[in-house]
Structure 1
Amino acid sequence: MRIFGRARHRPSTDWRLATDRAFTLIGDGRYEDAGALLTRAADLEPWLSESWFNLALLHKFRHDWEQARAAGLRAVALLDRAAGAPDWWNVGIAATALQDWPLARRAWQAYGLRVPSTPGDPGATAEPTGMELGSAAVRLSPEGEAEVVWGRRLDPARIEVQSIPLPSSGRRWGEVVLHDGVPHGERTVSAGGAPSAYPVFDEIELWAPSPVPTWVVLLEAATEADRDALERLAADAGFAAEDWSSSVRLLCRSCSESRMPTDEGDGSARQDPHDHSVPGHPGPLGHVTPGDLWIPERECGLAAPAGLVRGLLDGWVADSPDTREWRDLEEVC
């Protein structure tokens, strides 16, 4: 097989040494030095799709999406297989970051995914919708104080956050995050039958911010039904409440990146645990109320506008003043 007039062959020793050294540097966070080596490798073997795939990968790590798209397109131009290549997935991520929707559609289709057509848009220039990818989990701030939250997949590279993240993550309910393609861990949910597995993807960056602030409030809820009433009230208003006292668990990073069970539910339910990663090994549950013991004082996260949040809480108390109270409301993110 000949490409650009040159017979395809195994990459040279210099190419392999430069590439291996570059990925060692990437692991150390030395992206500039790695970029120089990968550029040299591409100069040595420009007919290898791997040369451009590696550069596209580096630019993805750097969030340099224009360069990631350019290198990714050179990689896919040299592919010798029709579908399923990770090169196309990286092109799809870069195109999504840049909102280059025609290229994103082309990338997902070339990878082998079905992308529904957009009515009234023969040029398929709108963002891909209707792919029905379901629920998944996403690890926010994977290089820092990581937290795994539940979300709704909008397409292969974006998740809309449906949990209320802890303030340490810097993320809000309703935000859309760009995520990587390879899952790191799974969450299994049992709903009366065989467990369903949901992948955990790593966040790359914030794609669309949410205007809805996060609040923390201390509740006095006499029963679980009282707590549930606030969550329903917030949901009915188009926002969210989450009892962090029972929905957040502490996991070490090793456990977080493994296959972990959650409470019974459907993967997208707000009551399913989301995970806050910490050093060491605190055990699978760090924050969840053990057994059947109900503690009336609850730490609750609320996602609601400033002009609505107090009215929600006051309305919740007014429905059952003998069993409900709130105090110490604070905006935290």
Structure 2
Amino acid sequence: MEKAEAKRVLERAREMWEAEEWLRSAELYEQVLAHYPDEEPSAVWWYDAALAYKFLRDWPKAWALGREAAARSPRGEQDPAFWNLGVAATIQRDWATARDAWEGFGISVPAGEGEINGAFGPACVRLDTGGEREVVWIQRLCPTRGRVMNVPATQGRRFGEIVVHDGEPTGERTYNGQSVPVFDELLIFEASPLPTLRTTVNAADASDVDALVASFFARDFGAEPASSFHMICACCSEGRVDWDESGTPTHGGSQTVWLAAPEAEARQLLDAWAEGGERSWSGLELSA
């Protein structure tokens, strides 16, 4: 490919990029890169092609081209080529490459080999399953993975599943004075074995409901009373939400509680809780 032709192909690749024709754009970049992999601007071409495959959720291609982009990018300067490679390598379970990518970006990860399971603090993830969108809290295990710490109301989703999220925040939540980002989910990395159950509880006051939630979390299970959910519009969800002010407080009375636990253990915990005062429960069933 002559340089004049390469220039025309690059212009077309950028046009396709602006039109969000990701596959065609990436293919055109690859045509040029096959002949000019190490020109001065080639790092940008590798990056754009890898990013296009990321948008397409073609993780093997995002990983392969991302490695080329990162190899031509400065280390330790938070270059996005390393971030995108870290995401793609994580999804491919290429832990050696993922570890090197995070270090290249400028993030320290726990020493060792294999899967990264660190303590990267809390964050929120916006689940997206066929149009249903729900923001849940996670405990981050690495820069791009986190364990879901709520019992989701969205059908088919579970407490304890591990999700991969994108790196650009699309919202903010504050709780007890701490501000955390909201990331968009990319995919479920590891399913949770815990089923989602639903029951109706009657409690004298909020402290009784809090005691029920605490008893489940003490066993590494989950519990989510209906009074802890609140609905907000998409625009507000992508902005800053103060959980202390906007969150609906837990209350007593009768309400639905979603539980994440094996049914037998859930019944035992509910029975033990009901013995603690003016408390009762009924109608335990799998959540649809």
Q: TM-score, normalised by structure 1?
A: 0.77
Flag the 1:65–1:14 CA change in 2: closer, same or farther, 3 A.
closer
**Could you tell me which of 289, 294, 303 is aligned with 2:260?**
303
Residue 113 of structure 1 aligns to a residue whose secondary structure is: coil
Match of 2:50 in 1: 56
Residue 300 of structure 1 aligns to a residue whose secondary structure is: strand
TM-aligned CA deviation for residue 154 of structure 1: 0.2
Identity across matched positions, percent: 37
- Is the 1:142–1:203 Cα contact (8 Å) retained in structure 2? no
Match of 1:71 in 2: 65
Amino acid at match of 1:113: I
Match of 1:260 in 2: 241
Please say if 1:128 is aligned against 2:128.
Answer: no
In 2: Cα distance, 1:325 partner to 1:82 partner = 56
TM-aligned CA deviation for residue 129 of structure 1: 3.4
Aligned ranges 1:1-333 → 2 under 5 Å: 12=7, 14-26=9-21, 34-44=22-32, 46=36, 47=39, 48-79=42-73, 83-118=77-112, 125-130=113-118, 132-141=119-128, 144-168=131-155, 170-189=156-175, 191=176, 195-245=177-227, 247-263=228-244, 288=248, 294=251, 296-320=253-277, 323-332=278-287
TM-aligned CA deviation for residue 78 of structure 1: 2.5
Residue 230 of structure 2 aligns to a residue whose secondary structure is: strand
In 2: Cα distance, 1:24 partner to 1:327 partner = 55
TM-aligned CA deviation for residue 231 of structure 1: 0.9
Flag the 1:23–1:299 CA change in 2: closer, same or farther, 3 A.
farther
Match of 1:274 in 2: none
TM-aligned CA deviation for residue 135 of structure 1: 0.6
Amino acid at match of 1:251: I
- Structure 2, unmatched stretches of 5+, are none
Larger helix share, 1 or 2 = 2
Q: TM-score, normalised by structure 2?
A: 0.88
TM-aligned CA deviation for residue 40 of structure 1: 1.1
In 2: Cα distance, 1:223 partner to 1:148 partner = 27
TM-aligned CA deviation for residue 263 of structure 1: 1.4
Higher-RCO chain (CA-CA 8 Å, sequence separation at least 6) = 1
- Is the 1:142–1:202 Cα contact (8 Å) retained in structure 2? no
TM-aligned CA deviation for residue 295 of structure 1: 5.1
After superposition, give the CA deviation of every residue in 1:126-182 in whole Å (9 maximum; x if it has no partner).
22233x3211111111772111111100000101000111133x2211110011111
Count of residue pairs brought into register by the alignment: 278
In 1: Cα distance, 2:254 partner to 2:237 partner = 28
| CA RMSD, Structure 1 to Structure 2 (Å) | 2.3
